[in-house]
Amino acid sequence: MLKWILVLWPSFLVAAVAEAVFFVVVDPQQLYLFGEPVRYSPIATYSIGFFGFWLACAASSLLTLFLQPVGTRPPAHR
């Protein structure tokens, strides 16, 4: 459980900041996906963007945890 907290919590915080910075610059009504304008509501676009950023950040954190040497990994609590 500790490993998941170490992965998901920092990635959540970074995704929130990344989404805020991204959508300050980009208007969700002017996004295009595969050459077609995005037809979702702004709230849906913000939500999809947040979960996309969270997934990317969680993958990065998980890879960092996976690549740590065995002696420095957090203990596995059961």
Q: What is the pLDDT along the chain (78 residues), one digit of tens a residue?
A: 788 888 899 999 999 999 999 999 999 888 898 999 988 899 999 999 999 999 999 999 999 888 877 776 666 665
pTM flag (> 0.85):
no
Rounded Cα distance between 33 and 36, Å, is 5
CB–CB of 50/16 below 8 Å?
yes
